[in-house]
Structure 1
């Protein structure tokens, strides 16, 4: 594991009714989509269990460590939408030009706050789009899939921004 730094493996946006709105994998060709769908679903109970004890802070921190390699972190918006970031602790090779050494780096809860803030900003920009209706992506809406085709977010700008966030994040980055 020497010479490698943590990287984002998956970003999931989960609706207020626990329906997946968007899932991005990093890098997509090396990840199994079904595995990460199950991982994202497995953290929903943790959100529910911690919800009564949360105050104004939206950062749920470490939700669960899946194994020695993958860890899941969560963030809850005011509208009940959940952001989940799965971090691969052996994510990508470190830059040999950095003088930070080649030892494994651990994560602090604060390391992911810039990524969550950037995700929240991207989601707010999506909501500000007059052509986006969040209720179209809710499974509670009667026959949503028949009327609208999908409960997934299909905005190219949002998807591109999520990809940018996933690619740009690294431990210690303060602004994304």
Structure 2
């Protein structure tokens, strides 16, 4: 992979129903804490979107929440499972190659990996995710270009 390649995502987080992180991984940087802050601040927007979706009970529930908010350097996207587990992707604003469909596909891949990990009888739901397979899938998603 060329050194000029942009990562698809700079941060991927899985947040429990109760809003604590189950899994968070970032690209190596001197300021990883800002990604933790970005993910944490996005949870209010996620809750707002979930509650507004809940009011329209006639619609089928959309798991993909779309763009939560943009910052100067990043765009934050959200996804929520039927069990209210949240996925947050932080992408560089300069990454213009990704379309909405690509981001939906990334969330579906992440959701499938999460479901596979949940099927492991040694995993207790609500605990931090330590699955090497899950981490490998997420890392691969972050490195694609």
* Alignment TM-score > 0.5, same fold: yes
Alignment of 1:156-171 (within 5 A): 156-168=132-144, 170=145
Corresponding residue for residue 143 of structure 1: none
Structure 1: 5+ residue runs without aligned partners? Answer: 92-104, 138-151, 171-176
The TM-score normalised by the length of structure 2 is: 0.84
Note if contact 2:7-2:143 (Cα within 8 Å) is conserved in structure 1. Answer: no
User: How far did 1:35 drift?
Assistant: 0.9
Alignment of 1:1-176 (within 5 A): 7-26=8-27, 28=28, 30=29, 32-54=31-53, 55-67=60-72, 69-90=73-94, 105=96, 107-135=98-126, 137=127, 152-168=128-144, 170=145
Partners in 1 of 2:97 and 2:76 — Cα distance?
14
Partners in 2 of 1:34 and 1:5 — Cα distance?
20
User: How far did 1:118 drift?
Assistant: 0.5
Root mean square deviation of aligned Cα: 2.0
Note if contact 2:12-2:90 (Cα within 8 Å) is conserved in structure 1. Answer: yes
Which consecutive aligned stretches of 4+ in structure 1 deviate over 3 angstroms post-superposition? 3-6
Note if contact 1:5-1:89 (Cα within 8 Å) is conserved in structure 2. Answer: no
User: How far did 1:111 drift?
Assistant: 2.5
Q: For each residue in 1:30-86, what CA deviation from the matched residue of structure 2 results, as whole angstroms up to 9, or x when unmatched?
A: 25221111100000110111112225110000000021x200000001111100000
Note if contact 1:6-1:90 (Cα within 8 Å) is conserved in structure 2. Answer: no
Structure with higher Rg: it is 1
Note if contact 1:25-1:31 (Cα within 8 Å) is conserved in structure 2. Answer: no
Note if contact 2:11-2:91 (Cα within 8 Å) is conserved in structure 1. Answer: yes
